[in-house]
Amino acid sequence: MVKKIWTRRDFLQKAGLVGLGLSQLKYVNLWAKGRPSRRGEFPVVISTWKHGLAANTKAGEILMAGGKALDAVEKGVNVSEADPELMSVGYGGLPDEDGVVTLDACIMGPDGNCGAVAFLQDIVHPISVARRVMERSDHVMLVGEGALRFALAHGFKRQNLLTDKARERWLEWKEKLSDQDDWFPPPQGHDTISMIALDKNGDLAGACTTSGLAFKIHGRVGDSPIIGAGLYVDNGVGGAGATGRGEAAIKTCGSFLVVEEMRRGASPQEACEAALQRLIKQRKGKIDFQLAFIALNKDGEIGAASLKDGLQYAHFTPKENKLKDGKYLIKD
């Protein structure tokens, strides 16, 4: 049997669209290019860890009022950055091995534009500096002294980020440092906030911000400011963000990989798991660290998975803002 080759006209006829004017056809084209099917309820926000709940609340307020996904993710993660009790993001974050708090962050909008800062010191809101880099320069990433100078020039205020609580934890780590105690190797505090949001208009944006691994080598930069590793958004497909051992997310271009899996047809959940399976394969099953991904697609569907037990994420919809457990792949 000879297979019928479908023409554009056949498609339009089948869909009852013959006879539509040019302006209506424009919308058909937009739909065909991947406009949201609005399967889920909009808006939607997903973010990592328990502190994601407070961040989601802020992001959700903005989105429910009709605000943009980009504003929602920036203002949402600002809440975590300003929280002195949170020892893994922004103000109050645990320092590096020299006692210096260094911050990494990146942001990506629906237009594919993005900005990042790494090894930034003395600024409470690195995500807002990252957004400024995106919008007020033609670069993507600024680091260290240069990022600080850029932030100060744009009106951000300098502030000591090392709280007493974080300083005490650092001193305790230094005092006890030996290969005999619990502190060595350094603890794996994995509480970066990654957030992806879908606004009422169907647009996606993402943000990722962290103080990085506790007691890291001075100068170490993780995955969180690296577009494609700690965060990636494609407005036609979905967005993904990471938390956990940043080096592993960088080595697999983790967040990009999750989005590419979704592009190939995977659900957000399948995509997160596929990216982690890739890593397990790369390491031949030898995994002694934690890494997790969250994802949100254009239809408002979410996914979350980690290598090991313990991932929690916050999920906001118009109905609720709820803390949930992520699926994990390696049972110890």
Is 192 a binding residue for ligand ASP by CB under 6 A? The answer is yes
DSSP-derived secondary structure letter, 172: H
x/- track of binding to ligand ASP for residues 72-101 (CB under 6 A): ----------------x-------------
Q: Cα(200)–Cα(195) distance, rounded to whole angstroms?
A: 17
73 vs 213 by CB, closer to ligand ASP: 213
Task: Please identify, using beta-carbon distances, which residue of 122 and 191 lies nearer to ligand ASP.
Answer: 191
Cβ burial of 239 (10 Å; 0-12, 13-18, 19+) is buried
Helix, strand, coil percent content, the chain, rounded in steps of 5: 35, 20, 45
Q: Does 190 bind ligand ASP (CB under 6 A)?
A: yes
Q: How far is the CB of 244 from ligand ASP (least distance, A)?
A: 5
Q: Compute the least distance from the CB of residue 243 to ligand ASP, in Å.
A: 4
Region near ligand ASP per CB under 6 A, out of 24-32, 138-146, 188-196, 305-313: 188-196
Binding to ligand ASP, residues 230-269 (CB under 6 A): 243-244, 246
224 or 312: CB nearest ligand ASP: 224
In the chain, the N- to C-terminal Cα span, in Å, equals 54
String of contacts with ligand ASP for each residue 200-219, x by CB under 6 A: ----------x-xx------
Nearer to ligand ASP, 133 or 208 (CB): 208
The residue among 80 and 317 lying less far from ligand ASP, judged by its C-beta, is 80
Which residues 21-60 are close enough to bind ligand ASP by CB under 6 A?
A: none
| Listed residue (163, 157, 116) closest to 137, CA to CA | 116
Among 192, 210, 243, 252, the one annotated catalytic: 192
**Helices 52-64 and 69-82: angle between axes, nearest 10 degrees:** 150
- The reply to whether 317 belongs to the active site is no
Distance between CA atoms of 245 and 108, rounded to whole angstroms? Answer: 21
Tokens 């989005």 label which residue?
259
CB of 23 to ligand ASP, least distance (A): 47
Q: Quick check: bond before 84 cis, omega within 30?
A: no
DSSP conformation letters of 258-314: HHHHHHTT--HHHHHHHHHHHHHHHTTT---S-EEEEEEETTS-EEEEESSTT-EEE
Enumerate the active-site residues. Answer: 192
Contact set with ligand ASP (CB under 6 A)? 88, 189-192, 210, 212-213, 222-224, 243-244, 246
